Amino acid sequence: MNEQFSSHKPSNPSASPATWLGVMGGGQLGRMFVHAAQKMGFKVAVLEPALDCPAGHAADQLLCSGYTDTEGLNKLAAQCAAVTTEFENVSARSLSYLAEHAFVAPSGACVAIAQDRLEEKRFFVECATISGVFPAAHKEIRTEADLDQVPDDLLPGILKTARLGYDGKGQVRVKTREELRDAFAAMNGVVCVLEKMLPLAYEISVLAARGADGQAVVYPIAENVHRDGILFTTMVPGPNIGKEAADKAQAATLAVIKQLGYVGVLCIEFFVLTDGSVVVNEMAPRPHNSGHYTIDACITSQFAQQVRAMARLPLGDVRQHSPAAMLNILGDIWFEPGADDKTTPPREPQWDKVLAIPGANLHLYGKDVARRARKMGHITFVAPTMEQAQDNLRKACAILGIAP
């Protein structure tokens, strides 16, 4: 799928005037990409419909435009040698349109697979013939009639919308057929997938990158804890990950990224079950929340890696120089526990005390309003040992009023 891009050769990052790179989306992932690109000598244009956005604050230019607006897309393509996306729900058609005029990484075709859980699972099954790592048992649910065909062994399960779900949204746990029917009715007729609930030991994610030349690299495996469907902490190297599970997850990730013909950074989440087996869950065609530790703990951050892949530069060294524990910062900590958000003004967290902890690296995303469950930033704790990094993370939780 890369042949159509072969005539587009972006300039060296040291070229003058600087080569422009484009980003679809104005969120925090775009903001961190902008910082990494500018550090390497690029200028960045962000296309985003909201005027006040984290990436727009940092970008060299903000194109205020809808993701499917032809005029905005034309401006982005005309200005930029290469374009990427910072979230998977951007229009895949828009990415394919941009690819007619600029190098796009990842491609619209790759993003389209990640946008649809059913297509994603079909693709994972196809790749499993190579890697041996399958997704959870599941069934497509399009109509009420499909509910009658659900095998008994798929319950208890998790009913998920096939499209537009993230951070725990569009998901309902169901134990009985009655609960399944009620959950599907509450989804208002959208296509869903029912996944069998599995005996989970822990969750991991594998961050990888692939260049247009086919070179691929894999970062150290992250072990993740979620709360209410949102990433809470990431530990790297994962304290519970055995070599066999690690090898399986990394091999499966490399099989997926190669089969896709993917260019750029890709993250795949896996479940490790109580019997030690590995199950592939879902993928994100972009840098990922669980990969933020790479900014402070690796030779090449995931965002610098995305820049390299877009510009067709050699991929960077993925070695981790320090154990790292990352804590996601949500808007909840701006409010007193139990406070009414509507009547109680937010308060600034005690960043001075947090930053007094050795190895603490604070990253705030420049969002104007703190809201509960909204990702506002993250803190990465680097230390000589994982035990020290975890201990420092717990100290920060105590300061910020977060249950450890």
195 among the known binding-site residues?
A: yes
224 among the known binding-site residues?
A: no
196 among the known binding-site residues?
A: yes
238 among the known binding-site residues?
A: no
**Burial of 40 by CB count in 10 Å (0-12 exposed, 13-18 middle, 19+ buried)?**
middle
171 among the known binding-site residues?
A: yes
What DSSP designation does 16 have? Answer: S
Among 18, 49, 44, 41, CA closest to 32: 44
189 among the known binding-site residues?
A: no
What DSSP designation does 8 have? Answer: -
- The tokens describing 93, both together, are 């058609």
Q: CB of 32 within 8 A of CB of 361?
A: no
387 among the known binding-site residues?
A: no
**Centroid of chain to Cα 303:** 12
For 289-338, the DSSP string reads GGGTTHHHHBSS-HHHHHHHHHTTPPPPP--B-S-EEEEEEEGGGGS-TT
198 among the known binding-site residues?
A: yes
375 among the known binding-site residues?
A: no
31 among the known binding-site residues?
A: no
Q: CB of 363 within 8 A of CB of 379?
A: yes
154 among the known binding-site residues?
A: no
Alpha-carbon distance of 214 to 273, in angstroms, equals 32
Among 223, 218, 219, CA closest to 205: 223
Residues 6+ apart with CB under 8 A from 148: none
Alpha-carbon distance of 275 to 257, in angstroms, equals 27
169 among the known binding-site residues?
A: yes
Torsion over CA of 363, 304, 309 and 264, rounded to 10 degrees? Answer: -20
- The tokens describing 230, both together, are 């949102």
178 among the known binding-site residues?
A: no
Cis peptide before 358 (omega within 30 of 0): no
**Burial of 348 by CB count in 10 Å (0-12 exposed, 13-18 middle, 19+ buried)?**
exposed
Alpha-carbon distance of 393 to 360, in angstroms, equals 8
22 among the known binding-site residues?
A: no
Alpha-carbon distance of 48 to 206, in angstroms, equals 28
282 among the known binding-site residues?
A: yes
Detail the residues annotated as belonging to a binding site.
117, 160, 165-171, 195-198, 203, 226, 281-282
Q: Which residues are annotated as a binding site for ATP?
A: 117, 160, 165-171, 195-198, 203, 226, 281-282
